[in-house]
Every structure is written in C-alpha cells, then in structure tokens.
Structure 1
Amino acid sequence: MKYIVTSNKPITQAIIDLEKAITNNGFGILHVHNVKATMAKKNVDFPHECYVYEVCNPHIAKDILSIDMDLIMALPCRISIYSVGNQTKISMIKPMDLLTNLSSSADVTKHASKAEEISIKIIQQAK
C-alpha cells in the first residue's frame, strides 16, 4: 500500500526535482503542506523537514469522479517528501490500493493504475 523511496539528494534538491517531475508528467501541484512550519505555528517543535504535496492530473481525476463521485474523499493524490536523519524519503499511498479498496469498478481500476504508474515515474525521476 505504501510506496517509499530513499534519495541521496539533500531535501532542497529533491523538492526542486519533485516539482519539476510533477509538472513534466502532466500533474499539477494543488497545494504544498509544510508540516514543520505548520507545527511551529502551533508551538509544536517538530524536528523533521516534511512536505506533503497535493497533486492531480485533472483528466484522470475527471474520469475517476465520473465513475464514482464518492471517490472525491480519496483525491487529490498526495506525495510526501521528508527527511529522516541524513536521508531524504519520497513516498505515497499507491492509488491502486487506495481507490480499489473504495470501489469495485473495473473502470476505476484502469484509471487508478494509470495514476499509480505516472506517480511512481514522478517519484523515480525526483529520486
């Protein structure tokens, strides 16, 4: 269900490469959550750099939602990038696992598979 890769790049470079890979593969960045900054605003000391990207390919999202509007609860896709010690990790919940657990439609499976294939490509390019 989880897809996690480790990068030897510093997180700042991996972020640049992730954003480039997202847009180069037909996805858009809807929002970036800076978890460390959000925690700091709440007076919580969180030592890790951690960003959660909400990303979407509007064509795939439209196709999925045209089949089952209830799946809006699982969209947009999220890709996380964070530091653990000296390592940078890039991760996601696999769209196939998430969406096929919520819908038994073969058409949803087809579109989820496409979203997962592209998302893995994005993460590999950023790595």
Structure 2
Amino acid sequence: MIIVLGVAQISFGRWSWYVDALGFVALTIESTLPIPQFVTNFNNKSCYGFRSSTLAGWFFGDCFKTGYFFFRHSPIQFKVTAIMLVCWDFAVLVQRIIYGAKPPAIQRIVEFDADGDQPDTSRLRYDDSEHT
C-alpha cells in the first residue's frame, strides 16, 4: 500500500485534482471516527462507559474546527467533512440524552444441552424492553 501511494504521489503529486482528492479521502476517513461509538451505543441502548467530557471535547472541538474552516475560506472538502463530523457528534449527543449513561440491562438466555440436564448460560443478550 505504501509503495502504491508513493508511486501515485510521485506520478500525480503535481496535479491539484489529485491533491484535492487525496485530502478529501483523508478528511472523510477522519469524519467517520464517531460512527463506531454511535453503533455501539445503539446496539447497547446505553452510553455506559463513554465519558461526557470526551463527548464535549469532540462536539465543541469539531464545532470550533468547522467555524474556523468557514471563516478562513478553506477548500470545500474541509467544510463538507467538518459538517459530517459535527452531525455524527450531534447524533452521539442525542443518544447520550435518550439512553443516558446507566449500564445496559442484561438478560440471560438459558438453553439446555441435548440431554436437557445442563443449562448453557454462556450466551447473553441485552434486554431493551424498557426502551421500546
């Protein structure tokens, strides 16, 4: 991968379209960083273990960065990806308000082995009955 990117940089590095596209790809990757946290919160129906200070740092830092990009007349890829990032931060903030920070409720699923005499309690699932 490094060799391919090195050859691409040597071959196309002088063209602004390549530099713009490379910047857009890099910024798009950065703007997807909150997505795993969003998915985890959604699956657990809880924000347990996710600090409010981390969320505040993400949200206010990204809002500041977005404002900076607009006031400094940065290229469009900076503005678009910064807006995407603030939207994901806002989505996690909404989850924090809706789900709270309490631990998720866990319900055991009890299954018996083929003989019917030994319970298998190794599987767990989240009980989301209080959120529906």
TM-score by length of 2: 0.29
Greater relative contact order structure (CA < 8 Å, 6+ sep): 1
Structure with more helix by fraction = 2
TM-score by length of 1: 0.30
